[in-house]
Amino acid sequence: MFGLFFGKAKDRLVGIELRGTMSKRILLMLALASGIFVAKSNGREAVEIQAFSAAARLALKSNADVANGSLDIAESQERFREVLSDGLPQIKASGKANDYVVIPTTVYPASALSGLLGGAASGIPTKNIAIQIGTTYNVDGALIVRQTLFDASFFAGLRVAKSSTQMSKQILRKTKEDVIIQLASAYYGFMLSQKQAGFLQKQLDSYKSLLRVVEIQLQAGVAKKSDLDRLMVNKTNIETELENIKNLAEEQISNLKLLIGLDNEKQVVILDSLSEAPIFPEENEFYDIRNRADWQILQNQEEVEHFQIRQEQAGYAPVLALTAQANKDFYDNQFKPFTGDWYNSSFVALSLDFPIFDGLKKRSQIAQSRIEFDKIRNRKTLLLSAASLEIQDAQNKLNYSGIRLQSQKTNQELAMEVYRETTVQYNGGTASLSDLLNAEASLLESQRQYLQALADKILAEFAIQKAKGVLLQDLKID
């Protein structure tokens, strides 16, 4: 009955109370500041959960996906700085030392020398002349400064990096919403399991008492063996159902511990109680899809692709840069760089790089980016329709679950009254055991239906807040 809810029910979780050996005053300050307390229960450290917002904050600090989302933001910010660095002066120093084991040879053509010296005069060589020019040791150092003066792709790249950072922030927000939904599901699932277990335990205690009475009546000959057998069968069924509910509650509390980052060995006590009151404040029926994290993610993706196209188009534009270089060189046949002579040189260069043909590479890159841009536009159009339907569906479920909850509450009260009257009549001998068992079965079913209606209402409340994009805002943890 509750299986559908326990996997996805959404609820308020509470904040955590830490009681230890600290002074009461410090404990009170901690309680007021963070809502986190720890107590000792049966020799074990017990965490008492009292406020959803505090537990949610703890979960957002402990969750690995949220932590990775924060790291993604930091990484995207560093990528922005990386792109920005391309527009700043680039300064580097270089040095080199050469030991020429064999000094390079320079060959002078004979014809060039003959023309230079005036024909085939006496003493003019008729063959090429090879001369070793240079020194054994050459050492040079340089300081190079380069500043890009104009690069159209640089500014588009900055916008791409900035939009990527914004997208990382929205992805983190969506991750937080998913964690909160999981947290709420575990919390209310556990509370509902506990409530159902309480109902079953009461009925089980009732059956045990009734069994003792029927056993006495059977010995006295005023009851039938079939009555005792029916009671035993019902008792066994309730014990089985109660055990299943307890196992389910253990799974839910384990998920809760995992989400808020608690050791599984610690005991968790939820001090909150189920309530029919609205979890969130009354909301205006109007909403803005731009508040949704998934819409803002698509919006950022669209911006990224837009500036990506501009950056690729800017690849056709020339790049103008200014370079200044200062050199200091040492030449000698003996390696004495600290005492020998050094020679200075320097220059300033203005360079212009103009791409002419790249094999249509940039054309293909631009076409791919435009296709991706169109796909994002299509996803935005689809989300517009899907978001409207999602909110309408959640609103309808919320309205229906509210009506159904009141109906089931009334039905549960009637079933309880019938059970009480039938119990009185059975004890007075005016009602049969079958009447009593039927009344108990009706009561249990009404209790199940009431809890299911409450679960549906809570689920719808969380669903509509998430659909409107105000879940973290209304929980005041964004």
Per-residue DSSP letters for 303-329?
HHHHHHHHHHHGGGS-EEEEEEEEEEE
Question: What is the model's pLDDT at position 111?
Answer: 72
Question: What is the model's pLDDT at position 7?
Answer: 41
Going by pLDDT thresholds of 50, 70 and 90, the confidence category of residue 10 is very low
Q: Tell me what percent of the residues of the chain surpass a pLDDT of 90.
A: 50
Going by pLDDT thresholds of 50, 70 and 90, the confidence category of residue 13 is very low
Q: Mean pLDDT across the stretch 365-371?
A: 95
Please give the C-alpha separations between residue 165 and each of 171, 374, 430, in angstroms, as whole numbers: 10, 22, 76
Q: Is the pTM of this model over 0.95?
A: no
What pairs with residue 408 in β-bridges? none
Place of tokens 């509902």: 192
Q: Does residue 38 sit in helix, strand or coil? A: strand
Query: Residue 151 pLDDT > 90, yes or no?
Result: yes
Contact 269, 143 (CB under 8 A): no
Q: Of 38-47, 97-106, 358-367, where does mean pLDDT reach its minimum?
A: 38-47
Q: Does residue 23 sit in helix, strand or coil? A: coil
Going by pLDDT thresholds of 50, 70 and 90, the confidence category of residue 210 is confident
pLDDT tens track for 389-448: 998 898 899 899 999 999 999 999 999 999 999 989 988 888 888 888 899 889 999 999
pLDDT tens track for 286-317: 678 889 999 999 999 999 999 999 999 999 99
3-100+135-475 has which CATH code? 1.20.1600.10
Please give the C-alpha separations between residue 405 and each of 19, 410, 418, in angstroms, as whole numbers: 37, 9, 20
Q: Mean pLDDT across the stretch 244-268?
A: 89
Question: What type of residue sits at position 456?
Answer: D
Question: What is the model's pLDDT at position 430?
Answer: 87
Query: Residue 22 pLDDT > 50, yes or no?
Result: no
